[in-house]
Amino acid sequence: MTETDAEKLRITIHNERLKLLATFLNGIGVAVFAVGGLAPVFSSLYGQNGPTLFLMLVSTICFLTACALHYSASTVLKRLKP
């Protein structure tokens, strides 16, 4: 294996690890949004208890956290090497 091939392999490994990290962060963001953002809202709309201020606050925090995780994932992808 030549030095150029070793460098290409190193860059490929670096890029794949970054893509894996970005996928992980985005997946966690989707889970936080689904479990903390959507599920409580739907359960309060279709359940016996109506929506409360605390529930809306928690849902908003989870939504913002999910957005931050998604943004973090896209920021990680900017570190990919050509």
* CA separation for the pair 82, 56 (Å, rounded): 43
Question: What is the total count of domains within the chain?
Answer: 1
**pTM for this model (two decimals):** 0.84
Looking at the domain assignment, is residue 2 inside a domain?
Answer: no
Q: Record the tokens describing residue 2, joined without a space.
A: 């030549």
Residue with tokens 């109506």: 50
| Domain-located, residue 60 | yes
Residue 82 belongs to a domain: no
- Domain of residue 28 covers 7-77
**63 assigned to some structural domain:** yes
Within-domain flag for 43:
yes
What is the C-alpha separation between 38 and 43, in angstroms, rounded? 9
End-to-end Cα spacing for the chain? 20
pLDDT tens digits, one per residue of 13-58: 999 999 999 999 999 999 999 999 888 888 888 877 777 888 889 9
